């Protein structure tokens, strides 16, 4: 076995030469916001990989998406995290909101190699999912959107901004959740600095301000009544949780790989660092296969959340071991990958937080439904 061989072989087939390019940059180079790595990814067609072939994309499924994000994460942490925000949204639009509006938008995304910056809201399955602070009003031919979305990744490279909202009562979307796709160059769209941490800077995570932005009906995808949209929202969450966990798992695996490359520690040290990560990867792939096969329910989401929270602990343990075995001089001199070690911990900050989900998961494991907190 060669560590990450399956994942990197897939990346090479999907985007020929891109893995080699990332390897040449190194993790520090790829995570430099001036590296242009996001734009290279976009130009290479990276955003088309999870769009169905019938809409102009590569037609890859969730299992392949999990492997791709792990491969990218091992080389370029910020790109893996940022691209997840595009991948999960286009995959969800194509598979759960597969009507004429979504199809038309995705064909354009694929043809123009656009990236979609996602500002999806989190909330209760089947409940209120629109984010407070966004004002939505009716227009004769669409909606007017105002507010600030932050944090939001890919803001400098995005072609579209995607967000969930509640349809105004005086609109054609009254009572429904809608997915609004805002062109990045629409009048009233601006960007503001927000991200101050050095870690994951290349993900282009800042604030997007919407000042009375007109969004035409042709860019609005109805999700449905909240009471009837639970499965669609569950699908959204499954795609996100699987891909974002795989991205951070890749970041940690790339760091453990350095132990093997530099022959640091004992054989036992290296195996102890890697084994929990491989176990998490197997669990992610199993769940991804089920999603690809059409399963989408609370039990699968519950298992995926348990896997994600297990991944957080496995990543922390593995990267602690890497930091210790690489030694103090590597830390003092800011050796390659120091920021990636810290970046790997950021999985804990993506919703829903483990602390908020302990009670809901406990109720679910006792036989109740799963409610997102």
Give the DSSP letter string of 9-41: HHHHHHSTTHHHHHHHHHHHHHTSTTS-HHHHH
For the chain, which residues make up each domain, given as ranges? 5-112, 116-227, 229-365
Average pLDDT (183-187) is 97
Q: What is the pLDDT of residue 238?
A: 97
**pLDDT, tens digit (0-9, with 9 covering 90-100), for 103-143:** 999 999 999 999 999 875 433 344 444 454 689 999 999 99
The answer to whether residue 335 scores a pLDDT higher than 90 is no
pLDDT over 70 for what percent of the chain?
94
The fold for domain 116-227 equals Butyryl-CoA Dehydrogenase, subunit A; domain 2 (2.40.110)
The answer to whether residue 332 scores a pLDDT higher than 70 is no
CA separation for the pair 217, 213 (Å, rounded): 13
Q: Say if CB 90 and CB 55 are below 8 A apart.
A: no
Cis amide prior to 278 (ω within 30 degrees): no
CA separation for the pair 19, 3 (Å, rounded): 14
The answer to whether residue 183 scores a pLDDT higher than 50 is yes
CA separation for the pair 353, 4 (Å, rounded): 28
Q: What is the pTM of this model?
A: 0.95
**pLDDT, tens digit (0-9, with 9 covering 90-100), for 78-110:** 999 999 999 999 999 999 987 899 999 999 999
pLDDT band at 372 (very low <50, low <70, confident <90, very high): confident
CA separation for the pair 167, 136 (Å, rounded): 7
The CATH superfamily holding the domain 229-365 is Butyryl-CoA Dehydrogenase, subunit A, domain 3 (1.20.140.10)
Cβ count near 261 (within 10 Å):
9
Phi, psi (degrees; rounded to nearest 5) at 206: -140, -160
Closest CA to 195 of 204, 187, 186: 204
Phi, psi (degrees; rounded to nearest 5) at 164: -95, 145
**pLDDT, tens digit (0-9, with 9 covering 90-100), for 261-318:** 999 999 999 999 999 999 999 999 999 999 999 999 999 999 999 999 999 999 999 9
**pLDDT, tens digit (0-9, with 9 covering 90-100), for 189-235:** 999 999 998 899 999 999 999 999 999 999 999 999 887 788 999 99
Q: Output 149 or 275, whichever has higher pLDDT.
A: 275
CATH number of 5-112: 1.10.540.10
Q: What is the pLDDT of residue 307?
A: 98
Average pLDDT (46-73) is 98
């Amino acid at each position: 076995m060669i560590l990450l061989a399956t994942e990197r072989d897939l990346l090479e087939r999907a985007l020929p030469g891109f893995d080699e390019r990332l390897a040449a940059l190194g993790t520090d180079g790829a995570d430099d916001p001036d590296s242009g790595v996001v734009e290279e990814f976009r130009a290479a067609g990276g955003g088309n990989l999870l769009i169905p072939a019938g809409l102009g994309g590569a037609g890859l499924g969730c299992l392949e998406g999990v492997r791709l994000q792990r491969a990218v994460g091992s080389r370029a942490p910020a790109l893996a995290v940022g691209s997840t925000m595009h991948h999960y949204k286009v995959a969800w639009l194509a598979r759960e909101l597969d009507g004429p509006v979504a199809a038309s938008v995705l064909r354009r995304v694929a043809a123009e190699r656009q990236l979609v910056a996602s500002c999806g809201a989190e909330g209760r399955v089947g409940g209120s999912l629109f984010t407070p602070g966004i004002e939505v009003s009716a227009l004769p031919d669409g909606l007017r959107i105002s507010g600030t979305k932050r944090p939001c990744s890919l803001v400098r490279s995005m072609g579209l901004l995607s967000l969930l909202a509640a349809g105004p009562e005086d609109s054609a979307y009254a009572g429904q959740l809608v997915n609004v796709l805002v062109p990045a160059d629409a009048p009233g769209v601006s960007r503001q600095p927000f991200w101050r941490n050095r870690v994951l800077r290349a993900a282009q995570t800042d604030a997007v301000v919407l000042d009375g932005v007109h969004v035409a009906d042709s860019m609005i995808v109805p999700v449905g009544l909240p009471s009837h949209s639970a499965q669609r929202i569950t699908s959204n969450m499954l795609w996100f949780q699987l891909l974002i966990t795989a991205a951070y798992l890749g970041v940690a695996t790339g760091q453990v790989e350095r132990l093997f490359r530099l022959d640091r520690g004992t054989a036992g040290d290296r195996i102890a660092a890697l084994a929990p990560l491989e176990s998490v990867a197997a669990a992610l792939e199993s769940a991804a296969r089920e999603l690809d096969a059409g399963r989408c329910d609370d039990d699968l989401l519950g298992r995926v959340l348990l896997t994600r929270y297990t991944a957080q602990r496995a990543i922390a343990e593995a990267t602690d071991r890497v930091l210790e075995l690489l030694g103090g001089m590597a830390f003092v001199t800011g050796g390659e990958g120091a920021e990636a070690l810290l970046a790997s911990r950021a999985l804990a900050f993506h919703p829903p937080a483990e602390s908020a989900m302990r009670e809901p998961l406990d109720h679910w494991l006792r036989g109740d439904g799963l409610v997102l907190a």
